[in-house]
């Protein structure tokens, strides 16, 4: 495999991992808080991502990268979308059963 192709593949893998890593946060946060708003989920995702990046910086076990915070937050937004989709489907099933 050519060196440039390997780098592109590695970059894509890291990008997808950063997105997928916080999808569960986007699904779980609305269940844990009273106000089930997207802004709460985004703020939580940014806080968690910042904590992860700071830990990497302090422990020197990775790189502190702002794009990771953005991609983690994007993952949480996708997770929030999944949460909302499940809510809509549950409502539809309840109406159908009634």
pLDDT in tens, the chain (98 residues): 677 788 889 989 999 999 999 999 999 999 999 888 999 999 999 999 999 999 999 999 988 899 999 999 999 999 999 999 999 998 887 776 65
The pTM for the full model equals 0.86
Q: Which sign, positive or negative, has the C-alpha torsion 19, 21, 24, 26? A: negative
Residue 47 CA to residue 37 CA, distance in Å, equals 16
Contact call for residues 39 and 89 (beta carbons, < 8 A): no
d(CA 94, CA 55): 44
């Amino acid at each position: 495999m050519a060196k440039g192709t390997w780098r592109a593949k590695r970059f894509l893998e890291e990008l997808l991992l950063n997105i997928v890593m916080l999808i569960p946060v986007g699904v779980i946060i609305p269940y844990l808080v009273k106000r089930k708003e997207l802004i709460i989920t985004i703020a939580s995702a940014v806080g968690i991502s910042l904590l992860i990046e700071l830990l990497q910086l302090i422990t020197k076990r990775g790189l502190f990268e702002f794009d990771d915070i953005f991609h983690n937050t994007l993952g949480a937004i996708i997770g929030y979308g999944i949460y909302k989709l499940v809510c809509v489907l549950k409502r539809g099933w309840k109406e159908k059963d009634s």
